[in-house]
Amino acid sequence: MTKKRTAHTAQGTALGAATVASGLVAGVWYAFACGVMPALARTEDRVYVEVMQQINVVIENPVFFAGFFGALILIAVCAWQQRGKPAGRWVLAALVLYVLVVGVTSGANVPLNNELAAAGAPAGIADPGAVRERFEDPWVLWNIVRGVLGTAAVYCLWHATTRLRAARPDSAALPHARTTRI
């Protein structure tokens, strides 16, 4: 295997890993938007608060953090690797979008989670409906925003992989590696 092809393969592997990691994170936001939050919307206020408090504790684990921050690091590495190349603009767009995902999460969803935690144990909350009222709609909105941004980042990474594959050193011998330019 030539040195150029080995480097290309390593870049493709990094881009694939970035795509998978960011896809997993976008999938978390999607699952919340399509399943978790609609199900919780059907519950009583105290149950809603209790379950969301528990989710916010449980989600802070090494597996989630590895995907969430790993995607950011991998996309940044890929942006560096692809600078000036046909896939570079797509990876840079994915990086900007994913940075926005991190910004929305840390600037909107996490502060809302912290406010919900600060309300205390659900059994001791005098008005769980008021606590839920301050939390639910803004959290759902910002989750949808980060879900859309995350999905757009995955699309950009996917598109970058098609560009990278088309630029493969031996792509002339691989008719399936050719892509249509948009």
143: left (phi over 0), alpha (psi -120 to 50) or beta: alpha
User: What pLDDT, on the 0 to 100 scale, is given for residue 3?
Assistant: 61
User: What pLDDT, on the 0 to 100 scale, is given for residue 173?
Assistant: 41
Cα 55 to Cα 152: distance, rounded to the nearest angstrom: 25
- Phi and psi, residue 171, nearest 5°: -65, -20
H or E stretch including 86?
none
Q: Which residues neighbour 47 within 8 Å (Cβ) at sequence distance 6 or greater? A: 122
**pTM, entire model:** 0.87
Q: What is the mean pLDDT of each run of 10 residues along the chain (182 residues)?
A: 62 92 98 98 98 98 98 97 93 98 98 98 97 98 98 97 77 49 53
Q: Which residues neighbour 86 within 8 Å (Cβ) at sequence distance 6 or greater? A: 163, 164, 166, 167
Neighbours of 65 (CB within 10 A): 11
User: What pLDDT, on the 0 to 100 scale, is given for residue 164?
Assistant: 82
User: What pLDDT, on the 0 to 100 scale, is given for residue 174?
Assistant: 46
User: What pLDDT, on the 0 to 100 scale, is given for residue 177?
Assistant: 47
User: What pLDDT, on the 0 to 100 scale, is given for residue 11?
Assistant: 83
